[in-house]
Amino acid sequence: MASADLAGRRAIVTGGCSGIGLAIVCAFREAGAEVAVLDREPTELAGVEVIACDVADPESVRAGFDAAEKALGGLDVVVANAGVSQNCPTFELDFAAWRRVMSVNLDGVFLTAQEAGKRMSKTGGGSLLLMASMYGTVAAPERLGYCVSKSGVVMMAKALAIEWAKLGIRVNAIAPGYVRTPFVDELVARGRLDPAKLEARTPIGRMIETDEVADAARFLASDAARAVTGQVMGVDGGWTAYGYL
């Protein structure tokens, strides 16, 4: 039986300086992987190569991958995690804000996936993880740009999985529910989310922790998931399964 050990693996995580991305970086390192982070707002992380990168800019992504691959000496796992939130009534959603969420959450994942795929295809394959959301599989009001962008990520994972399987590249998506991150803290501070209501709506009775999403990423990146591709793993405490009230 294969384990979720990542010893000897070389991984890139976008948006890895905070929140879910940082938890994934820590989980991968604990599992034995070498990790490089691409982040628009880089901060120093002990034992990790951190490279400034705007995932919505093709040249920045290409340069970031060049630097990361050089630092790591190769590439086995890529996590396209960088993303932004959007929570406002659709009548108040201006085009610039719409384009911003699309450029990061959808274009950025595409550019990251494409760059990863090109490189992995030359070295025998690897594992590519795309960060979606439960709101890429179910809808919610006043989150149009976010829902649309994340649903695109879900379909991207499926389409790339079947196209790149012959190249040895596994592609999966992770769809978290409400996770305790700076994103959620900001929305709570703005009065856009009520933590008590979220916890009451979630079958397990609480929000998700970042390390729980990281555990899913570690599994999907490892040989324990060697036959898993084209899948969307929900880490939402039962939110999307619950349709009673």
Q: How many domains does the chain have?
A: 1
The lowest-confidence range among 65-74, 179-188, 192-201 is 179-188
Say which residue, 187 or 175, is predicted with more confidence: 175
**Residue 87 within any structural domain of the chain:** yes
Rounded to whole angstroms, the Cα distance separating 179 from 63 reads 31
From the list 1, 69, 7, 23, the residue with the least C-alpha distance to 174 is 23
146 an active-site residue? yes
Ramachandran region, residue 175 (left: φ > 0; alpha: ψ -120 to 50; beta: rest): beta
**Residue 1 within any structural domain of the chain:** no
Rounded to whole angstroms, the Cα distance separating 136 from 132 reads 6
Distance of CA 143 to the CA centre of its chain: 18
CB contact at 8 A, 102 and 56 = no
**Residue 108 within any structural domain of the chain:** yes
Per cent of the chain over pLDDT 70 is 100
Report the CATH number that the domain containing residue 113 is assigned in CATH. 3.40.50.720
**Residue 4 within any structural domain of the chain:** no
CB contact at 8 A, 151 and 143 = no
Average pLDDT of span 128-150: 97
Q: What is the pTM of this model?
A: 0.96
**Residue 5 within any structural domain of the chain:** no
**Residue 110 within any structural domain of the chain:** yes
Q: Residue 107 belongs to what domain range?
A: 10-235
Return the pLDDT at 1. 61
Average pLDDT value for the chain: 96
The sign of the dihedral angle between the CA atoms of 114, 120, 125, 127 is negative
**Residue 95 within any structural domain of the chain:** yes
Q: Which of 146, 178, 242, 244 is catalytic?
A: 146
**Residue 243 within any structural domain of the chain:** no
Rounded to whole angstroms, the Cα distance separating 80 from 120 reads 14
Average pLDDT of span 112-118: 98
pLDDT-derived band at 3 (thresholds 50, 70, 90) equals confident
| Alpha-carbon distances, residue 108 vs 153, 193, 244 (angstroms) | 10, 26, 36
pLDDT, one tens digit per residue, over 75-106 is: 999 999 999 999 899 999 999 999 999 999 99
Return the pLDDT at 159. 98
Average pLDDT of span 41-51: 95
Return the pLDDT at 184. 85
